[in-house]
Structure 1
Amino acid sequence: MSAPTLPTLFIPHGAGPCFFMDWDPADTWHRMADWLRAVPRHVGPRPQAVVVVSAHWEAPAFTVNGQADPPLLYDYGGFPPHTYELTYPVAGAPAVAARVRALLEAAGLETAEESRRGLDHGVFIPFRLIHPDADVPIVQLSLRRGLDPAEHLAAGRALAPLRREGVLIV
């Protein structure tokens, strides 16, 4: 029996670190937070890894964060000091990052690897709710500068096999 095909998701992340702040009214972000916490129930089988294409990272080529232990990038401003101390000690997945690059390159798309950039808030903020134990490795993938729709659709088609390999694409 073959492994089930995982879905591809588009997820929101609210305003910066919104889920970890006080608001008036207090329930301002509760519905979205509840929705994010429910994502694992809707995905089905627990993914072996997650590839997150972040809207907060554009690079000249499709660039993969290949780190085993990626830091966090607090790429927001003007929020309370405690929001710059949030942690999410998730592992990276270098083998999945290499597979992402191989699939994209096989489709004729230029790639690069990043080894210093942290996971941005479009990744770590929602995943603190989706997988709060940080127990599913994450690989972050950039958008390609210029945002050509045809190139990004081609990248999506190229990465589709990951869904049958236990990788959730967000």
Structure 2
Amino acid sequence: MEIGPNPSNICYFIAHVFRNDKMQTNNSSCLEFPLANYKSKPKEGEKKSLEEAKPKKVSFAKFGKMAVEEEMIRETFYVSHGTPMMTIDKSVPARSFLESWREKVYFKKPKSILVISAHWETQVPTVNAVNHSDLIYDFYGFPAPMYQLKYPAPGAPDLARRVQELLTGSGFQCELDKKRGLDHGSWVPLMFMYPEANIPVCQLSVQSHLDGEHHYKLGRALAPLKEEGVLVIGSGSSVHPSNNTPGSADGVAPWAAAFDNWLEDALTNGRYEDVNNYKTKAPHWKLAHPWPEHFYPLHVAMGASGENSRAELIHRSWEHGTLGYACYKFTSS
């Protein structure tokens, strides 16, 4: 299903995935997303010891505070990427949250990143295995500058093969896609979270014709990646209604708040089975997620956190009273 700006409700601008035969890439005339320079220099006259002079893996910084690459990660995340308009609209509240990622949420540098994107739907789990990731502009009717943005992160083919190994070892069929780049479910949030674009990234697809339990089990199979320094991020939207659902001029729509509050309560109290079975447990789920592709990345991140993990709400904001940007951190015990 393709969704563009709704003439009767132009405020939405919610983009949806194009089918594979309509994917668009743009490799020319790209605007480089501004990159930050976090280099630090020793004070004048400061002497380095032999130990300090040795090559180190420090290449990452958070507002001057250096961070080393993670050898082992305890956290997985679910981020709501919402509308791609945040790339040019600084008023979107979730944008400032993502920009503060390394200051307030997670300052360590992962070795690589696996994104489970709502904007890649396949029959069986599929992971892209490319050396360089072209961007996929899987939205239409938006301002022209958005189609010139660039996020030149390296691909992660070794991670892709590791994902395939873990999934097939757990009984799943898993295919490699050696051509696909990054859709906006990945590059939109990452360009604010990691603007240097120097961390290898690959994507895993969702199966919207299957259920939450399937995606939770996918995550469980991928849990060992955390011990290998891989940051697992599910990218979707906590509340993602149809483009035909009217916005709310009087704050958050009651049905949207009810679903979002239920989700927070279920996650933070460890009722993961309720989240897996949300169609029988959650209020107003048909309005919140008429199609499940933006919800299922949460199930993968939840599963990858492992047994007895703890969920924490780390951000909540809204657009138009119905598009939810809640984000969660899952921490392994």
Q: Does the TM-score normalized on the shorter chain lie above 0.5? A: yes
Using the size of structure 1 for normalisation, the TM-score is 0.89
Q: Is the 8 A contact 2:101 2:107 kept in 1?
A: no
Q: Distance in 2 between matches of 1:130 and 1:164?
A: 21
Provide the rounded CA distance (Å) in 1 between the counterparts of 2:177 and 2:149. 22
Q: How does 1:28-107 map to 2 (within 5 A)?
A: 28-29=91-92, 31-41=93-103, 42-107=105-170
Deviations 1:38-75 (A, max 9, x none): 22342242100000000111111100010010111000
Cα offset for 1:88? 0.5
- Could you say which residue in structure 2 is the equivalent of 1:20? 87
Q: Does 1:150 align with 2:217?
A: no
- Measure how far apart 1:145 and its partner are: 4.2
Number of aligned residue pairs? 163
CA distance in 2, matches of 1:152, 1:96: 19
TM-fit CA distance, 1:146:
1.2
Q: Which deviates more, 148-157 or 58-67?
A: 148-157
Work out which of the two has the higher radius of gyration on C-alpha atoms and give 1 or 2: 2
Gaps of 5+ in 1: none
Are the equivalent residues in 2 in contact too, given 1:104–1:155 (CA < 8 A)? yes
Q: Which consecutive unaligned segments of at least 5 residues does structure 2 have?
A: 1-69, 234-333
Matched letter for residue 45 of structure 1: K
The one of the two structures with greater contact order (alpha-carbon pairs below 8 A, sep at least 6) is: 1
Shift of 1:115: 1.5
Distance 1:46 1:6, change over 3 A: farther
Determine if the alignment matches structure 1 residue 9 to structure 2 residue 77. yes
Deviation at 1:151, TM superposition (A): 1.6
Q: Taking structure 1 as reference, are residues 45 and 7 closer, same or farther at Cα in structure 2, changes over 3 Å only?
A: same
Determine the C-alpha separation between the residues in 2 that align with 1:32 and 1:147. Answer: 29
Percent identity, please. Answer: 37
What's the Cα RMSD here?
1.6
